Amino acid sequence: MSFFNWYKNHLFRRPILIQTITIYCFYRTLRLGGFGLCIAGPSTTIWVHLKRLVYIVIVGALFFKNPMLGLLTHVTLDQAIFAP
């Protein structure tokens, strides 16, 4: 049995496992990990703390009496300020 036949057979039986193994790239993993460590992690942490301050200033309290209104305010702040 050739390697190609073995690969096709295993790709048919366990597609997610075989594709995960064949797509694995150390450089890509290192690059994305570095991005998360140096850019995404710190900026998200700063945004979460800043959002709490903005939320307190805009709303004047930490929690709404209506939890759905509080959730909508947090989502609106996230989408309007941080997401773009």
pLDDT (tens digit, 9 = 90+) per residue, 1-32? 688 888 888 888 888 777 776 666 777 888 89
Residue 84 token pair: 């773009």
pTM for this model (two decimals): 0.53
Instruction: Calculate Rg over the CA atoms of the chain.
Output: 23
Beta carbons of 58 and 72 less than 8 angstroms apart: no
pLDDT (tens digit, 9 = 90+) per residue, 22-75? 666 777 888 899 999 999 999 989 988 888 887 777 766 555 667 777 778 788
Residue 73 token pair: 């305010």
